[in-house]
Amino acid sequence: MSTSPDRVDEASRARPLPPGPRYATPFQFFRELRPDPLAYYRRLVSEYGDVACVKMWPRCQVVTARPEHHRRVLVDRAERYPKGITFLRRKEIGGDGLFFSDGELWKEQRRLIMPSFRRSALVELIPHMVDGARAFVARMRERTGEPAFDIAPEMAKLAMDIACRAFFGCDILERAQALHEALWASSRYTGHVSTHPLAPPLWVPTRRNREARAALRTMYGAIDELIAENRARGGGANVLARLNEHVTDGRMSEPQLRYEMWTLLNAGHETTATTIGFAFGLLSQHPEALARVQQEADALRGRAPMHADLPALDFTRRVVCETLRLYPPAW
């Protein structure tokens, strides 16, 4: 991970910076970073060690590679490492959601959202996951006998469907693809502005910005509809129903609710779709592993899986963990 050492004590300022490359301007750094950021940071760690410093006038960027360093930055001394200017442009898309907020706002929002992801709350979401998975299986059976097709869009639709069932409490299959494409377009925009320091603001009518604004209209329009539908149904066992209670009691504003639902959808479906897609690919290459996964599923004898079944699905769990190890969906 990388951070800019903007808020450090005087003793820390007196210490020499870690070793690393030097660039005359940030533009030289971004020009080298853009083609393959992950390869760039791997090379940086390989050449300079677990803590390196990219020096580019008038700033520097410290890159850390060990879990204990990440904990120091993100947990132990988090107040000294604000997200800073790198995240300001991204707020054009996700506002002050958990991705981009900082300080006391971030702490308060996290306190409000985290109860929805405790074990007891996640158990309540299992029926939504099962319903989404069954709908996916039904779609795949309808395509039996077709020529080979790209599984990635189907994985995206599956993950988006399950995410919306769990987060909003409704089946949005007919809107899943459009919402996925809008979220993906917004992610491309945030990635672009993160590595192009002179990218024009979103209000400037460039082709890229027009596409991003269209994606925002689709995305937040769908989120507004899903929020309204959830309230009309009277909530239920889903994340939005719990967050709506905080809007009612005044602890969360309506705009903040929209930003947090965007954050959850963005974080909760893309990485899931990527992981499931790679898992399917790996299982297709290892029929003996596929047979063991099938054996665990067959042991359920056609009934819907429950939380109590997780210990009996141990090999399936290990397949997912190995997929994450081989093909991490985020870095």
Residue 96 lies in a domain: no
Q: Total domain count for the chain? A: 2
Please tell me the distance from the alpha carbon of residue 58 to that of residue 87, in angstroms, as a whole number.
18
- Domain-ending residue, one of 82, 99, 127: 82
Residue found by looking up tokens 């006038």 in the block: 57
Same domain for 140 and 25: no
Residue 107 lies in a domain: no
> Exposed, middle or buried: residue 263 (CB in 10 Å: 0-12, 13-18, 19+)?
buried
DSSP calls for 177-205:
HHHHHHHHHHHHHHHHHHH-TTPPPTTS-
Residue 201 lies in a domain: yes
Same domain for 18 and 138: no
Written as tens digits, the pLDDT of the chain (331 aa) is 665 555 444 445 557 889 999 998 888 998 899 889 889 999 999 999 999 999 988 788 889 989 999 999 888 888 888 877 777 888 888 888 888 888 888 889 999 999 988 888 889 889 989 999 999 999 999 988 888 888 888 888 888 888 888 888 887 777 777 888 888 888 888 888 888 878 898 999 999 999 999 999 999 998 898 888 888 888 677 888 889 889 988 999 999 999 999 888 888 788 899 999 999 999 999 999 999 999 999 999 888 899 999 999 999 999 999 999 999 988 7
Same domain for 318 and 234: yes
Domain of 217? 112-326
Residue 97 lies in a domain: no
Same domain for 116 and 57: no
User: Which residue type is seen at 128?
Assistant: H
